[in-house]
Amino acid sequence: MLSRASGRCLLHQGRRYVYAASLSTQTGQKVITLDNMNPQVKKMEYAVRGPLVIRATAIEKELEAGIEKPFKTVTKANIGDAHAMGQKPITFLRQVLSLCSMPSLLEDSSFPEDAKERARGVLAGCKGTSLGSYSDSPGIEIIRRHVADYIQQRDGQPSSWEDIILCAGASEGIRSIMKLMVQHENGIRPGVMIPIPQYPLYSASIDEYDLHQIGYYLEESTNWGLDMAELERAYTEAKKVCHPKALVVINPGNPTGNVLPRENIEAVIKFAHERKLFLFADEVYQDNIYADGCVFHSFKKVMKELGEPYCHMEMASFMSCSKGYMGECGLRGGYAEVINLDPDVKAMYLKSISAKLCPTTLGQAAMECVVNPPRKGDPSYDQFISEKSAVLSSLAQRAKMVVETFNSVPGMSCNTVQGAMYAFPQIHLPPKAIEAAKAAGQLPDVFYAFQLLENTGICIVPGSGFGQRPGTYHFRTTILPQPEMLSTMLEKFREFHTSFVKRYQ
């Protein structure tokens, strides 16, 4: 977002925004103005909820008001929000939450005993045995202990509950750790290495905290592989202008849907160790693995298995109840496992999160269910496993369907969605479409996405919101619409792309 030197008009990718239009008559009376407000907040962008989504919401209102369009509904394939796209909640998780919120239901014989046992455990860990009380800032101790048990079981490596920090979604955990890096040295900013394309929480937070973004490109020709030579190039170039301090890896990848092989993870850990980089392992999609031969390896496990000297590296890894088979985005539950921090820094970190009091206790209770699900023999086990597998196998099918369709459309190419919840296809735009975009004051992929939205009601996010190699154009779509809706969406997509290309041939 740019503020024009002359006035109060905000521009974003060539589009003018209404919310800025009338400020010029008022700014003299306001304490906070566009000219004096925090410039870092003005700079940050978050494409997943950007101008296309604002327009999509406006179109929904227009449809409600009876305005004729070439479509009847808007399909929001822009955001990884499974429940918004029709996914049903996991029964066990909601039973535990219901019991925690309304303890009188503990007397109700229609709730299974294992859900009651979990709820009693959570409530016993709450002050005053109520979910309505503040918890400790890093979260309810019994849930932190269960998270550590889960990690230990997953990785076969020890995990300490005191390293577990529950947070209001992984986003909050990521931002609270990133904040620790903010310290200019002799006027030089710290740098954070992030993949390109990336999940825009990272670029937005880097801007907000006035850090330097070091982008390393993922390699599209190897299914969005993480190439060590590219990591080295990005680091070496960035070192001339910033102090590289951290390296972010998103595995499985958003928006790229790639899953890192173990050798790659080992190489990244060694790279980070050699250059003294703090590692952010964003592993919120650890349950979303679809492609044959792909396995999730946590960075923590690989780092511990590599042994000396790597096992002492500072690292934070993140998990969430928003993704996986749960899709409970609105509950805002997540955790960070933060290891090998300097004890004095850890004390400061704990102090800093204490100013936020605590993450939502409902989100914490949701995380309890994620890390401590029904076990074999428990009354809820069969239903839990059947619901979990149904969601994951349907997602795997939808991942395939999306890729096959896009690859069958001339002028589009799409890598295998190995994991996560997104496809990031490349679109080959004719030169005349690029000229038309320029004339409209938009980037070509933004122009394409707006045309798609206005003509079909499909809302996707242009590749420029995530970063892409110059001269290439992409978009991100989720694989989350339910199968029937997805199939309709993909057919409409095919028709649109074909006629778009024809129009600008």
Ligand X SMILES: Cc1ncc(COP(=O)(O)O)c(C=O)c1O
Cβ pair 448, 440 in contact under 8 A: no
- The DSSP output letter for 435 is H
Q: Where are the alpha helices (DSSP H) in 412-475?
A: 431-439, 444-456
| Shortest distance, position 97 Cβ to ligand X, whole Å | 17
> Terminal CA-to-CA distance of the chain, rounded, Å?
32
| Shortest distance, position 219 Cβ to ligand X, whole Å | 19
HEC secondary structure over 11-64:
EECCEECHHHCCHHHCHHHCCCCCCCCCHHHHHCCCHHHCHHHHHHHHHHHHHH
Token reading at 449: 């996405």
Q: Which amino acid is at 334?
A: G
| Shortest distance, position 120 Cβ to ligand X, whole Å | 26
The residue among 320 and 477 lying less far from ligand X, judged by its C-beta, is 320
The residue among 170 and 433 lying less far from ligand X, judged by its C-beta, is 170
Task: Tell which one of 78, 137, 320, 426 touches ligand X (CB under 6 A).
Answer: 320
| Shortest distance, position 126 Cβ to ligand X, whole Å | 22
Buried b (16+ CB within 10 A) or exposed e, 266-287: bbbbebbbebebbbbbbbbbbb
The residue among 116 and 297 lying less far from ligand X, judged by its C-beta, is 297
Tell me: does residue 85 bind ligand X (CB under 6 A): no
| Shortest distance, position 305 Cβ to ligand X, whole Å | 24
The residue among 121 and 334 lying less far from ligand X, judged by its C-beta, is 334
Distances, alpha carbon 197 to alpha carbons 57, 103, 289, 502, in Å: 25, 45, 19, 28
> Angle at which helices 141-155 and 113-125 pack, to 10 degrees?
120
Tell me: does residue 209 bind ligand X (CB under 6 A): no
The residue among 197 and 374 lying less far from ligand X, judged by its C-beta, is 197
Task: Tell which one of 334, 359, 425, 463 touches ligand X (CB under 6 A).
Answer: 334
| Shortest distance, position 146 Cβ to ligand X, whole Å | 18
Sign of CA dihedral 360, 177, 136, 158: positive
| Shortest distance, position 296 Cβ to ligand X, whole Å | 14
Q: Interface residues for ligand X in 429-448 (CB under 6 A)?
A: none
How many whole angstroms separate alpha carbon 388 and alpha carbon 213? 37
How many whole angstroms separate alpha carbon 253 and alpha carbon 289? 11
How many whole angstroms separate alpha carbon 55 and alpha carbon 459? 9
Distances, alpha carbon 124 to alpha carbons 131, 207, 380, in Å: 10, 41, 21
Tell me: does residue 478 bind ligand X (CB under 6 A): no
Q: Interface residues for ligand X in 346-375 (CB under 6 A)?
A: none
Q: 73: Cβ–Cβ under 8 A, 6 or more apart, which residues?
A: 63, 457
Task: Tell which one of 47, 131, 315, 329 touches ligand X (CB under 6 A).
Answer: 329
| 3-state class (DSSP) for residue 192 | strand
| Shortest distance, position 420 Cβ to ligand X, whole Å | 7
| Shortest distance, position 284 Cβ to ligand X, whole Å | 5
- The pattern of x and - marking residues 242 through 281 that bind ligand X according to CB under 6 A reads --------x---x---------------------------
Tell me: does residue 75 bind ligand X (CB under 6 A): no
Tell me: does residue 121 bind ligand X (CB under 6 A): no
The residue among 170 and 490 lying less far from ligand X, judged by its C-beta, is 170
Token reading at 168: 């209001």
| Shortest distance, position 254 Cβ to ligand X, whole Å | 4
Tell me: does residue 139 bind ligand X (CB under 6 A): no
- The pattern of x and - marking residues 164 through 193 that bind ligand X according to CB under 6 A reads -----xxx----------------------
How many whole angstroms separate alpha carbon 460 and alpha carbon 76? 7
The residue among 327 and 457 lying less far from ligand X, judged by its C-beta, is 327
How many whole angstroms separate alpha carbon 458 and alpha carbon 450? 9
Task: Tell which one of 322, 405, 451, 477 touches ligand X (CB under 6 A).
Answer: 322
Task: Tell which one of 111, 150, 199, 424 touches ligand X (CB under 6 A).
Answer: 199
Q: Contact positions toward ligand X, by CB under 6 A?
A: 80, 169-171, 199, 201, 250, 254, 282, 284, 320, 322, 329, 334
